[in-house]
Amino acid sequence: MPLFEPGVAYVDISSGQLKGATSRYVKTFRDLDGLYEDSAAFSSLVDRSGDEVAYEVTDYKPSSNLGDIIIGVTRMEPGKIGNEYYMTRGHIHARPNRPEMYYGESGLGVMLLESPDGQIRTIEIKPRTMCYVPPFWIHRSVNVGRQPLVMTFSYPADSGQDYDIIAKAGGMRSRIVDDGKGGWKTVENKGYRIRPQALVDSIMAKVE
């Protein structure tokens, strides 16, 4: 096995970027079609600012080898579509038994987690909060604050991302919305379809 060189990168909180990243991707509002309940509010946002960046991921990926890790930074704009806070697409890892760690750098976020059988958990993430996303949980980050949400993350390099699991269920089971007092609350996603038990069993059996 050849030796890799140690790596270094810098978390620039004001830009919300990892300086020294090896890869970067952005999602514009236009890319997030179908995520939000209020489709009229979504369309009017896309008409006004569809090409603006909703969130950005910069990361350092030494390899995609088993046993290696990816480290990076996510930055998400603050705001709402209707009464629903801005969020990432969300995914389960393609190798679903891979976990993840998120660390709050600035702003106020919520990690919304859903198990394949439809249990929901939420973890509020403030600066210096370290959040453990266990294996097999679908996860999405939500910016519930008034400032950009910046989080550092790390996860196994061979995890991969599966976005279909959310799309096929009609979204995640809960939505994170304004509680009317400047905070947040979870509400039921009316379009959600619970996964058949056979599908849940097949996901839970994927251990490699």
Ligand X SMILES: O=P(O)(O)OC[C@H]1O[C@](O)(CO)[C@@H](O)[C@@H]1O
**Given 16, 90, 109, 116, the residue binding ligand X (CB under 6 A):** 90
- For the bound state, the minimum distance from the C-beta of residue 10 to Fe ion, rounded and expressed in Å, comes to 22
The amino acid present at 157, given as its one-letter code, is A
Q: H helices within 115-204, ranges in order? A: 164-168, 197-204
Q: Is 114 one of the annotated binding-site residues?
A: no
24-63 binders of ligand X (CB under 6 A): 57, 59
When the beta carbons of 30 and 91 are compared against ligand X, the nearer one is 91
> Helix, strand, or coil here: 35?
coil
For residue 184, give both structure tokens: 């947040």
By CB atoms closer than 10 A (0-12, 13-18, 19+), residue 86 is buried
By CB under 5 A, residue 59 contacts Fe ion: no
Of 72 and 171, CB closest to ligand X: 72
The distance of closest approach from Cβ of residue 159 to ligand X in the complex, given in angstroms and rounded to an integer, is: 6
Is 106 a binder of ligand X (CB under 6 A)? Answer: no
37 labeled binding residue: no
Q: What are phi and psi of 30, to 5 degrees?
A: -60, -30
Pick the stretch among 86-94, 107-115, 118-126, 185-193 that binds ligand X (CB under 6 A): 86-94
The yes or no reply on residue 100 touching ligand X (CB under 6 A) is yes
105 binding Fe ion? (CB under 5 A): no
Q: Is 100 annotated as a binding residue?
A: yes
Annotate 104-130 with b (16+ C-beta within 10 A) or e (fewer): bbbbbbbbbbbbbebeeebbebeeebe
Q: Which of 58, 102, 57, 108 is nearest to 78 (CA)?
A: 108
Position 74 contacts ligand X (CB under 6 A)? yes
| Residues binding ligand X (CB under 6 A) | 57, 59, 72, 74, 88-91, 100, 153, 155, 161
